[in-house]
Amino acid sequence: MKLIELGLVEMVRVVKEGEVRATEIVEDYIARIEKEDKEIRAYLTYSFDRALRRAREIDLKKDKGKLAGAVIAIKDNIVTRGIRTTCASRILENFNPPYNATVVDRLEAEDAVIIGKTNLDEFAMGSSTENSGFFPTRNPWDKGRVPGGSSGGSAAAVAGLEAVAALGSDTGGSVRQPAAFCGLVGLKPTYGLVSRYGLVAFASSLDQIGPLARSVEDCALITSIIAGFDPRDSTSSPLPVPDYLAESGIPLPNFRVGVLDVSSLTGVKEEVVRNYQDVLRMIAGLGIEMQKLDLPSWEYALPCYYVIAPSEASSNLARYDGVRYGFRAESSELSDMYLRTRTRGFGREVKRRILLGTFALSSGYYEAYYARAAKVRQAILREFVEAFKKVDFILTPTTPEPAFRLGEKQDPISMYLQDYFTVAANLAGIPGLSVPSGFSTDHLPLGLQVLGRSFAESELFKFAFLLEKNLNLKNNRYGINTRGRRKNEN
Amino acid sequence: MLNMTIDLDHVSRLANLELTEEERKILPEQMEKIIDWVGQLSRLQVTEEEKYTPVNFSLRLEEDEVRESLPQEEALAMAPEKSGDYIKVPRVLQGK
């Protein structure tokens, strides 16, 4: 078995026990990337020299960290000291951050190796990675299709064996949807669980950093490392963080699962509905109690999101003015310099959202749009609070359809509908995990979303672990099963 | 909800953005459609008086103590144009 096929937990074990050197793993991944990434284009920037240097240091250490030798890719909207960070935007094309995001510091403190920075929709605005200011990324399962977005580069890297795991960010589904499209496990943690210090802000009340991995246990391990209070992020929670990996194998006591009637929803592909129903039958077969939920405000989550997120973005992206860092357009006069810098530096979708947000916050419209959306958001939260009195988890498909073709979605609203099942979790601040749940008729991966109560990540992992075990899927196209060991090809 | 046409020239001025010829052609219709689509928010019966707040633990205050921060040299390293220890920008007032 090749080293790059090892799952994260297994990889760390062999490095810690001295069976394999971190340097060998990094070299194998570099070789893999050099071969595969010309086509997949998961990465915007490689950091091979730095990775090899780190690996040599780790090999010399006696006491190796909890992520020793783990080759990890980082979405390029998370800042890395000394590695260019672009947000896939021309406006930050040559930005070289002077500091690390807290999550990067935490990964490196446990001897993970950062192998490169991954492609995304510009400033994380999109669902296909086609909005990258540089180039699109391709789905390793079918190179004519998108990997999802906005963390599409991170998902493609992990699914294509170009990294063992990756970090993404999720503002409306940007970790979970690409995880589903690429056959991976992806977590959007509870708002406040993971520090956002060093995550380039898109919509600050919704953004969370989350991991993408090949199995639930790999995802649980990374989450344990990156979670926890950070004095540099005032929204980070002071609650103690459990060891999710150690807890993931402990069976849950009696619990109840809430399900939706998805067959009546327009825009949800039939094969997605079928897969969802198959999974529910499997769960019923395990003797788990299920309850149908009616969530009337759910329908309003998407339009609510498309008022809140662009409004916050229009404010956050005001900082790109060509003064302190990033691209500056030539001009002899200051206000004209601002205008030209922003006009030339931002891509079309980013401009569209800035304009939409500026409109929603502008005098005369604020009450009708932003203030209204903020109240709808509260109604969505209240509905979740009520639902979680009756059930412990809510299950939905992660996406309305499997990975679509590059160039297939030209109309902005049809792209926005990708987030149909995922945005509500961001609006309510609750955690959401996507696990592979089967395949479409074209053998494209499908995902199941598990939503839980705020800060109930440990329970989410336990339940996801149970699902993963019972679904017994090969979760990537190389035939590696979810526990990191090769299964017989069938 | 109000059903008014978006004044794109006004909004783009507020956002410090200029629209290209092509954007002028496609954006108005797209923006109208999006605004019309989010307009369905007015249909939900909302009893909430409260607006959502993302954090429900009490925010803590920082101790008032001196700590290391980003050195000036590094903070200035990414500036497009510098003059000594300052960031340089084009002139603020338009001269005739």
The ipTM value here is 0.91
Tokens 């240097």 belong to A53
Answer whether residue A123 shows pLDDT above 50: yes
Using CB atoms, which residue from A338, A355, A374 is nearest to B51?
Answer: A374
SS3 B66: coil
Using CB atoms, which residue from B14, B23, B38 is nearest to A307?
Answer: B38
Least confidently predicted of A105-109, A280-284, B23-27: B23-27
- Say what the pLDDT of residue A304 is: 97
> Cα(A467)–Cα(A275) distance, rounded to whole angstroms?
14
- Say what the pLDDT of residue A490 is: 32
Say which residues have a Cβ less than 8 Å from residue A215's Cβ, sequence separation at least 6: A7, A8, A9, A185, A468, A475, A482, A483, A484
Residue A438 belongs to what H/E stretch? strand A432-439
φ and ψ of A403, to 5 deg: -50, 130
Residue ranges of alpha helices (H) inside A127-196 are: 152-159, 176-181
- Say what the pLDDT of residue A390 is: 97
Mean pLDDT confidence for A463-478: 77
CB pairs under 8 A between A and B: 167
Tokens 């662009």 belong to A310
Contact residues on chain A for B47, CB-CB shorter than 8 A: 379
Answer whether residue A456 shows pLDDT above 90: yes
> Cα(B35)–Cα(B23) distance, rounded to whole angstroms?
17
> Between chains, do A351 and B23 touch, taking CB under 8 Å as contact?
yes
Using CB atoms, which residue from B20, B41, B50 is nearest to A378?
Answer: B50
Q: Is A174 a catalytic residue?
A: yes
> Cα(A345)–Cα(A323) distance, rounded to whole angstroms?
13
SS3 B87: strand
Q: What is the pLDDT of chain A when averaged over all its residues?
A: 94
Tokens 């979708």 belong to A349
Question: Which residue among A128, A132, A150, A314 is the active-site one?
Answer: A150
> Cα(A12)–Cα(A7) distance, rounded to whole angstroms?
9
> Between chains, do B35 and A348 touch, taking CB under 8 Å as contact?
no
The per-residue pLDDT for range A345-393, each reduced to its tens digit, is 999 999 999 999 999 999 999 999 999 999 999 999 999 999 999 999 9
Q: How far is CA B33 from the centre of its chain?
A: 22
Which string of b and e fits A96-105 if b means at least 16 CB within 10 Å? bbbbbbbbbb
> Cα(A185)–Cα(A436) distance, rounded to whole angstroms?
7
> Cα(A434)–Cα(A441) distance, rounded to whole angstroms?
20
Is B32's Cβ below 8 Å from some Cβ in A? no
Q: Give the largest Cα separation in chain B, rounded.
A: 59
Mean pLDDT confidence for A1-20: 94
The per-residue pLDDT for range A11-51, each reduced to its tens digit, is 999 999 999 999 999 999 999 999 999 999 999 999 999 99
The per-residue pLDDT for range A211-254, each reduced to its tens digit, is 999 999 999 999 999 999 999 999 999 999 999 999 988 889 88
Least confidently predicted of A77-81, A93-97, A415-419: A415-419
Is B35's Cβ below 8 Å from some Cβ in A? yes
Highest mean pLDDT out of A260-274, A342-356, A470-484: A342-356
Is B37's Cβ below 8 Å from some Cβ in A? yes
Q: Which of A120, A99, A112 is nearest to A45 (CA)?
A: A120
Mean pLDDT confidence for A146-163: 97
Answer whether residue B83 shows pLDDT above 80: yes
Task: Compare all CA atoms of chain A with the CA of B50 and give the residue at the minimum distance.
Answer: A375
A378, A334 contact by CB (below 8 A): no
Strand partners, A168: A210
